[in-house]
Every structure is written in C-alpha cells, then in structure tokens.
C-alpha cells in the first residue's frame, strides 16, 4: 500500500489545494489529508470545520481520508505507515519554505517529500488571500467550491 500525506492549514481549502490532493490520489493508493492545528491564530474555520469542508469536497474519492493532526508530520507519518508527503508548489517562495521542511523531515525519519507544480490557473491562489477578499465582500467564488464559498460567507456573517 503506497500512502501519501497532504498536510496544510486549509483555512479554507482552495481549488488549488483540491487539485493537488486529487492529483496525489491519482498516484498513491491512499491519501491522508492532514489539517494542521499549529497556525490557527488568525484562523477563520476551526480545524474540525476544515476537515468537514475537505471531506465534503473530496467525497467522491474513496482513497482520501481527512484528519486533524497535532504535533509533527514525521510522527503522524511514522505511526500511519506513510512514506511520502506531497506538497503543491506555486512559485519560488513556496519552494524555499517547503524545501526547508522537506529537508528536516527527511533528516529526522527519512520521510520523503514530492513537490507537484501548481496548476497555472490556481498558482496565484492562497487561503489567506481568499479570506481577505471574502472579508472585504469581494468575489471569491472561482477560487473555492460552491459549498466552501457558502460556508465561508456563513462563517463571516456569523462572526461580524
Ligand atoms: O498550509 P500551510 O500553512 O503551509 O501548512 C503548514 C503545515 C501545517 C503543513 C506545517 O506548519 C506543518 O507541517 N506543521 C506540522 C509540524 C511539523 O511537522 N513541523 C516541522 C516541519 S519540519
């Protein structure tokens, strides 16, 4: 069984995230989408809410599981017999940041990281920009699924 992990903050999941997860599912037998809990300071959705958004958007892929995870990626991967992390790369800034994590993860346990180039149509999207546009009332529907767009509007309305 070839297993991969796709860790991230996913606040909210974008079409770029979903594209990388779907491409990973086409390569590996099982994909664990991991919602990290370490960068929730300015979070919009709770980690459990992000898991629900991802699970709904990926419901047609039986090989994809979505979990909240705490702690180190290397520990989760060791405990769940996952040998590879897959990350989407939008450009040089992502590559720089992700390369550092990839090097340290490999040094710690031998966990490998594969980089997938972001699809050009999603290469400029980030969750933080989607949150900004949504908070200021702009149109962000093209960057997320209809369900995630609706949940984002509902969440912002509830918080304002
Ligand atoms: O979407 P993001 O914000 O780039 O995701 C960051 C995340 C959650 C993947 C990253 O912070 C992470 O891997 N956290 C887990 C803790 C860990 O393993 N850190 C050491 C990496 S060398």
The set of residues, in sequence order, having a beta carbon less than 8 Å from that of 14 and lying 6+ positions away, is 122, 125, 126, 127, 130, 143, 144
Q: What is the mean pLDDT of residues 102-127?
A: 97
The structure's pTM equals: 0.96
pLDDT tens-place string over residues 49-105: 999 999 999 999 999 999 999 999 999 999 999 999 999 999 999 999 999 999 999
Tell me the CA–centroid distance for residue 74 and ligand 1, in Å.
10
Of 32, 127, 131, 151, which is the active-site residue?
127
Pocket of ligand 1 (CB under 6 A): 7-9, 36, 38-39, 72-73, 101, 104-105
Catalytic entry in 9, 15, 17, 50? 17
Residue nearest to atom 3 of ligand 1 (CA): 9
Residue 146 token pair: 């209809």
Alpha carbon distance 147, 20 (integer Å): 19
**Is residue 110 pLDDT above 70, yes or no?**
yes
pLDDT tens track for 20-31: 999 999 999 999
């Amino acid at each position: 069984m070839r297993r991969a992990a796709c860790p991230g903050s996913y606040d909210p999941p974008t079409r770029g995230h979903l594209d990388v997860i779907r491409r990973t599912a086409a390569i590996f037998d099982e994909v664990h989408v991991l919602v990290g809990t370490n960068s929730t300071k300015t979070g919009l959705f709770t980690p459990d809410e992000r898991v629900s958004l991802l699970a709904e958007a990926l419901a047609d892929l039986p090989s994809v599981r979505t979990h909240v995870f705490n702690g180190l990626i290397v520990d989760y991967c060791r405990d769940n017999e996952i040998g590879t992390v897959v990350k989407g790369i939008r450009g040089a800034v992502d590559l720089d940041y992700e390369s550092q994590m990839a090097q340290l993860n490999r040094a710690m346990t031998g966990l490998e990281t594969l980089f997938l180039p972001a699809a050009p149509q999603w290469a400029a999207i980030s969750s933080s920009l989607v949150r900004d546009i949504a908070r200021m009332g702009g149109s962000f529907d093209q960057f997320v699924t209809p369900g995630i767009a609706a949940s984002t509007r509902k969440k912002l309305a509830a918080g304002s």
